[in-house]
């Protein structure tokens, strides 16, 4: 398997926040062999452990969130249409005529309905609807839908993956399972004897809806230090006034108020020494990632935030650069090998 | 998949924005094979397929002519420029609704013969302003991401004038797979109906009182009708257009504004933006549908632009009628139709030819 294939397989799973257990079996089969143990906790966090051969090894936490944004069924209309509400921040601009999958008692397919422009009043032809005003066309009757897709049934973007030039790939839910794939790839590459500590890989839940899983998962492990990995926005032409890094710059390492300064500096040194491309990113307040909750978890966890730049986040057509993903995976390997970091932050 | 659905799938997946109908033409030629008396391509790219008449009512020295038309082209995109950062600026080909474009996959077919996948990039929700979320981005502000990093890389892959269409698979869905999803159902459904009619007339020949000219036409979507040229060439005595009818049969939409409904059968149109259709021809289709038990509905509403008017006002005028298949979300990557409605359009077309009385 290639890293590209692992990314596509992981991201293609349906893990809309609250439905992470939907993927447990698939996850176990796909990434279980990299680890010694796997457990699912009370809130659906999927925690994987790879033990080092060192005695009294420090606990290293690597957090990526398992959940993805999506929708859930909130009502039914005559003619076989569903109403939905968002789970997390769904990009509603991509929804009209978009394709979705309804994960009910049976897996159903749907198209987000739109009206022909020539039938709309002139003022409405450019108007975008709120997600609660949208209808999903399913090809089933209202009664059949009530049976097959009960209220609360998760609805996700139809997974479609493909390649652009220069090793760019597109698809849904790179946020954040693409980072998860890089973590697994990086952990898998390091033999047990070379690990600086026991590696706890936390595939956390409910990040998109308030970072619940990072908080409880961090507490469950009580690691000595942590690496939080999430996606960040790559620069696009629409964002000239934002200081976003161009795609292909490598790992985006955040210098932030709530990121551990020493661990961040050591992370950058690690990349410099290992010739792993990275680019610094600055965050004055919230990072919008689990770093927010890990940093303050229990007695506090020294945490560094590494990000994978993607375009069109929270859409069905996110784009990432494989070179960045490879840098991230190499960075993970270096991080869990690092005796220097283990000496400073280990017990 | 039934044979009919397989045919629609093949046509739906064919590449054919207005002016670039070559692939569609090739598929149609192949699907018709030897089932027609002649296949010719005219100077603008219309494919004209003749099935000869015979029998007592057929005037062999001066045969009457029936034109059956469906357009091959689909809406698409044309590359206009590459930005310094390697993104492609584009213009829509045909009536494109900017609300359905963000985040869509596109396949560009270049002049060099390569295929270049592209995304219609969208600003992430976190970076959108309130206005961004409330109002569709105009197409002139959109761009394709092909993965190029510089203008040079972009121009190495594509040229100004290269065209793209939605990159969207074809599938059946809904209860018993009764619904079809794909791009370009407008008007590949019409093309499929014509092909099936040609095959039907070939497989079980009947006495036709006229020569039938099945015309697969160009450039409908940009409003510069290839069908008008075909009509000039064929000089038909009457014409029947087989189209996709854009419908709005959504919950909450009142009766007449729905236009027509999926599941209601094929659609007969009395009037649209281009023509008031011939009453006797339409009445004949109606009676044929009733006699043969083919499900049909009369289109409510008068909008929509078709080739009808171009054919009707060709030469000294042509008796013209419009038969269509109701389609939701036309001109998007995910048009939806019901196979049974397609079947009723196809069956009515065949029944009308076989039972001609006029």
Cβ(B339)–Cβ(B172) below 8 Å: yes
Question: Is A162 within 8 Å of B171 when comparing Cβ atoms?
Answer: no
Question: Is A317 within 8 Å of B137 when comparing Cβ atoms?
Answer: no
Which of B87, B181, B329 is closest, CB to CB, to A114?
A: B329
pLDDT at site A121: 84
Cβ(B125)–Cβ(A277) below 8 Å: no
Domain boundaries, chain B: 3-74+183-354, 76-166
Q: Are residues A137 and A262 in the same domain?
A: no
B253 touches chain A (CB under 8 A): yes
Full domain range(s) for residue A135: 70-157
If pLDDT is split at 50, 70 and 90, which confidence band does B356 have?
Answer: confident
Instruction: Tell me the residues of chain B between 1 and 60 that have a Cβ less than 8 Å away from chain A.
Output: none
Q: Are residues A322 and A337 in the same domain?
A: yes
DSSP-assigned letter for residue A81? E
Question: Is B126 within 8 Å of A311 when comparing Cβ atoms?
Answer: no
Task: Say if residue B358's pLDDT is above 60.
Answer: no
Distance CA(A308)–CA(A261), nearest Å, equals 20
pLDDT at site A243: 74
Say which residue, A338 or B224, is predicted with more confidence: A338
Q: Are residues A22 and A123 in the same domain?
A: no
pLDDT at site A285: 83
Task: List the structure tokens of A31.
Answer: 């990434």
pLDDT at site A79: 92
Q: Which of A157, A182, A198 is the last residue of a domain?
A: A157
Whole-prediction pTM value? 0.94
Q: Are residues A103 and A230 in the same domain?
A: no
pLDDT at site B225: 84
Mean pLDDT, chain B, whole residue set:
94
B185-212 pLDDT tens trace: 999 999 999 999 999 999 999 999 999 9
Distance CA(A345)–CA(A331), nearest Å, equals 18
Task: Let me know if residue A165 belongs to a domain.
Answer: no
**CATH number for the domain including A121?**
2.40.30.40
Q: Are residues A209 and A94 in the same domain?
A: no
* Topology (CATH level 3) of domain B3-74+183-354: Aminopeptidase (3.40.630)
Q: What share of chain A is helix, strand, coil (3-state, %, to 5)?
A: 35, 30, 40
pLDDT at site B301: 80
Size of interface A-B (CB pairs under 8 A): 196
Q: Are residues A52 and A124 in the same domain?
A: no
Task: Let me know if residue A145 belongs to a domain.
Answer: yes
Task: Say if residue B1's pLDDT is above 80.
Answer: no
Residuewise pLDDT in 10s, chain A (347 residues) = 999 999 999 999 999 999 999 999 999 999 999 999 999 999 999 999 999 999 999 999 999 999 999 999 999 999 999 999 999 999 888 999 999 999 999 999 999 999 998 888 888 888 999 999 999 999 999 999 999 999 999 999 999 999 999 999 999 999 999 999 999 999 999 999 999 999 999 999 999 998 899 999 999 999 999 999 999 999 888 777 677 888 999 999 999 888 999 999 999 999 999 999 999 998 888 889 999 999 998 899 999 999 999 999 999 999 999 999 999 999 999 999 999 999 999 97
Mean pLDDT of B281-295: 97
Residues of A in contact with B250 (CB under 8 A): 79, 81, 113, 115, 135
Mean pLDDT of B122-133: 84
Task: Let me know if residue A163 belongs to a domain.
Answer: no
Q: Are residues A115 and A231 in the same domain?
A: no
Per DSSP bridges, beta strands A303-311 and B144-145 are unpaired
Q: Are residues A263 and A291 in the same domain?
A: yes
Q: Which of A105, A130, A157 is the last residue of a domain?
A: A157
A323 touches chain B (CB under 8 A): no
Give the residue from B98, B117, B145 with the most A CB atoms within 10 Å of its CB, the best one to mutate. Answer: B145
Residues of A in contact with B87 (CB under 8 A): 237
Task: Report the residue of chain B nearest A94, measured CA to CA.
Answer: B102
**Total length of chain B:** 358
Say which residue, B303 or A323, is predicted with more confidence: A323
pLDDT at site B273: 86
**CATH number for the domain including A257?**
3.40.630.10
Task: List the structure tokens of B78.
Answer: 């044309």
- The verdict on domain B76-166 having CATH code 2.40.30.40 is yes
Mean pLDDT of B85-107: 95
Residue of B121, B236, B166 whose CA lies nearest to A99: B166
Cis bond leading into A176, ω under 30°? yes
Task: Let me know if residue A190 belongs to a domain.
Answer: yes
Which of B85, B95, B125 is closest, CB to CB, to A314?
A: B125
Q: Are residues A129 and A248 in the same domain?
A: no
The total number of structural domains in chain A stands at 2
A242-278 pLDDT tens trace: 778 889 999 999 998 889 999 999 999 999 999 999 9
Q: Are residues A134 and A221 in the same domain?
A: no
A62 touches chain B (CB under 8 A): no
Burial B295-324 (b: 16+ CB within 10 A, else e): bbbebbbeebbbbbbbbbebeeebbbbbbb
Q: Are residues A82 and A43 in the same domain?
A: no
Q: Are residues A146 and A49 in the same domain?
A: no
Q: ipTM for the complex?
A: 0.93
Task: Let me know if residue A166 belongs to a domain.
Answer: no
Task: Let me know if residue A162 belongs to a domain.
Answer: no
């Amino acid at each position: 398997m290639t890293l590209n294939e692992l990314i596509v397989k992981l991201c293609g799973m349906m893990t809309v926040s609250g439905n992470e257990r939907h993927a447990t079996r698939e996850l176990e089969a796909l990434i279980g062999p990299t680890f010694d143990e796997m457990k699912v906790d009370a809130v659906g966090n999927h925690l994987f452990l790879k033990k080092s051969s060192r005695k009294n090894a420090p606990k290293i936490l690597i957090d990526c969130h398992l959940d993805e944004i999506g929708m859930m069924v909130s009502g039914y209309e005559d003619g076989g249409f569903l109403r939905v509400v968002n789970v997390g921040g769904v990009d509603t601009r991509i929804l009209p005529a978009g394709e979705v999958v309804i994960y009910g008692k049976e897996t159903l397919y749907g198209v987000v309905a739109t009206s022909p422009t020539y039938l709309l009043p002139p003022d409405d032809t450019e108007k975008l609807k709120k997600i609660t005003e949208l209808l999903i066309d399913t090809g089933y009757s209202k009664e059949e839908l009530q049976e097959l897709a009960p209220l609360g049934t998760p609805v996700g973007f139809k997974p479609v993956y493909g390649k652009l030039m220069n090793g760019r790939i597109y698809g849904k839910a790179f946020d954040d399972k693409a980072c998860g794939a890089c973590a697994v790839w990086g952990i898998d590459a390091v033999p047990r004897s070379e690990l600086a500590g026991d590696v706890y890989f936390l595939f956390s839940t409910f990040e998109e809806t308030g970072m619940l899983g990072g908080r409880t998962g961090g507490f469950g492990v009580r690691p000595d230090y942590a690496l939080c990995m999430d996606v960040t926005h790559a620069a696009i032409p629409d964002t000239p006034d934002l200081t976003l890094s161009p795609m292909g710059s490598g790992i985006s390492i955040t210098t932030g108020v709530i990121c551990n300064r020493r661990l961040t500096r050591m992370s950058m040194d690690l990349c410099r020494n290992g010739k792993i491309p990275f680019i610094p990113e600055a965050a004055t307040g919230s990072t919008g990632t689990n770093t927010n909750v890990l940093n303050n978890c229990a007695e506090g966890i020294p945490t560094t935030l590494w990000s994978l730049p993607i375009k069109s986040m929270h859409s069905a057509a996110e784009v990432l650069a494989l070179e960045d993903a490879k840098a991230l995976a190499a960075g993970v390997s270096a991080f869990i090998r690092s005796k220097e970091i283990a000496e400073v932050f280990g017990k | 998949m039934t044979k009919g659905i397989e045919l629609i799938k093949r046509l739906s997946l064919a590449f054919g924005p207005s002016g670039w109908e070559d692939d569609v033409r090739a598929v149609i030629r192949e699907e018709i094979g030897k089932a027609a008396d002649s296949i010719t391509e005219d100077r603008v790219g219309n494919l004209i397929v003749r099935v000869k008449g015979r029998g007592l009512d057929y005037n062999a020295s001066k045969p009457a002519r029936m034109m059956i038309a469906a357009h091959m082209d689909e809406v698409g995109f044309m590359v206009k420029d590459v930005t310094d950062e390697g993104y492609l600026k584009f213009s829509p080909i045909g009536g494109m609704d900017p609300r359905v474009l963000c985040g869509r996959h596109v396949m560009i077919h270049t002049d060099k013969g390569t295929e270049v996948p592209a995304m219609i990039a969208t600003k992430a929700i976190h970076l959108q302003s309130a206005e961004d979320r409330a109002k569709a981005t105009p197409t002139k502000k959109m761009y394709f991401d092909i993965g190029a990093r510089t203008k040079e890389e972009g121009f190495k892959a594509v040229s100004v004038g290269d065209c793209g269409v939605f990159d969207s698979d074809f599938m059946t869905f809904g209860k018993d797979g009764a619904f079809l999803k794909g791009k370009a159902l407008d008007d590949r459904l019409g093309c499929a109906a014509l092909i099936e009619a040609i095959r039907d007339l070939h497989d079980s020949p009947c006495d036709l009182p006229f020569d039938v000219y099945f015309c697969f036409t160009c450039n409908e979507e940009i409003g510069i009708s290839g069908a008008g040229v075909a009509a000039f060439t064929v000089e038909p005595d009457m014409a029947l257009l087989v189209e996709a009818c854009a419908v709005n049969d959504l919950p909450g939409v009142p009766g007449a504004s729905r236009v027509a409904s999926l599941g209601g059968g094929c659609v007969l149109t009395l009037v649209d933006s281009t023509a008031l259709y011939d009453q006797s021809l339409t009445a004949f289709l109606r009676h044929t549908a009733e006699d043969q038990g083919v499900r049909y509905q009369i289109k409510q509403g008068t909008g929509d632009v078709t080739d009808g008017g171009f054919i009707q006002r060709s030469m000294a005028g042509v008796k013209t009628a419009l038969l269509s298949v109701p389609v939701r979300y036309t001109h998007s990557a995910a048009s939806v139709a019901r196979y049974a409605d397609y079947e009723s359009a196809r069956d009515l077309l065949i029944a009308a030819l076989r039972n001609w009385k006029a």
